[in-house]
Amino acid sequence: MSILVPEQVREALDVHVVSFLGGRLNKHWLVDVCGHKLVLRRWAADREDAGYERDLRQAIRASGWPVARDVTALTEIAGELWSLAEFLPGEPHPEKNSAAELSLRGRLMAEFHQVTASLNPGRRKHWRLPDEILSDDHLEQVFEHCPDVRLRRLLFWHLQRGRQLAAGLPWSEQSLQLIHGDFTPWNLLYREGQLSGLLDCEMSRPEYRISEFALSWRGRYDALIHAYHAVSPLSAPEWNMLTPAWWALLLEGAYRNLVSGTEDQGWTAGMLLRRSPLMGIESCPC
């Protein structure tokens, strides 16, 4: 669904809107400014977090990855933050989640982690590590009020089982690694067979590297993890962390949705029910 840019914003930034590009949290439009293509972003975050993301994107860009350069500073208009960035050419892989695309994306993910390993932007506010999420006793109190009986059962089962799987794993021994957070087909652009753009850093943050697999693996695309492992091998504990880390992200999302009163149209339930051979004994439906 297209979202209109307020006239006040168009006039203040002197842009002509070409098309709505979408976005999960931050919203984006392709705009024309004096004959040049740029991307207009409406930030969902506050100024502090938007600044964190802008600084992080430029650090990733400086490391050699094709991340958009900011063209303007953050501008507050009618209570919302806006900015302009360069437009990155290219298109997503034509065969998303195919064997070839998963293999390529897994290798690129490993390369991204290797190249950005020295970046240390500090923890991003509002984000918790998987073991921190699973150890939060407040989750049960919120889940108890979930109006969807089926989802409530799934949340409690996966929370309890996730805690069992996480117990005894060496979480404190894992180093934090910058992750993109949403290394999905639609966030990678290609041009003439080469990577031309890495989009959407709104979930980028220092994390355990296995947390990168959450929204790229999604409990289904095992070939991506195998391709990553071929470039940057996972340790035995990391293989065992895959499932509890994935469930922790889903449980955290459900927790936030229930607190804010947001409905996800069954997305969380569907994701929790996914099973993969990489889950070991958990590959059997609950």
Tokens of 220: 């289904």
pLDDT at 39: 98
- CA angle 121/165/130 to nearest 5° reads 20
pLDDT at 68: 97
pTM score > 0.75 for this model? yes
pLDDT at 286: 53
pLDDT at 84: 98
Task: Please give the domain boundaries of the chain with CATH numbers for all domains.
Answer: 7-86 (3.30.200.20), 99-283 (3.90.1200.10)
Residues of the chain with pLDDT under 70: 1, 283-286
Q: Provide the 8-state DSSP code for 280.
A: G
pLDDT at 107: 99
pLDDT by residue (tens digit) across 165-219?
999 999 999 999 999 999 999 999 999 999 999 999 999 999 999 999 999 999 9
CB-CB neighbours of 118 under 10 Å = 9
Closest CA to 110 of 236, 212, 184: 212
- CB-CB contact of 183 with 112 (8 Å): yes
pLDDT at 31: 98
pLDDT at 24: 86
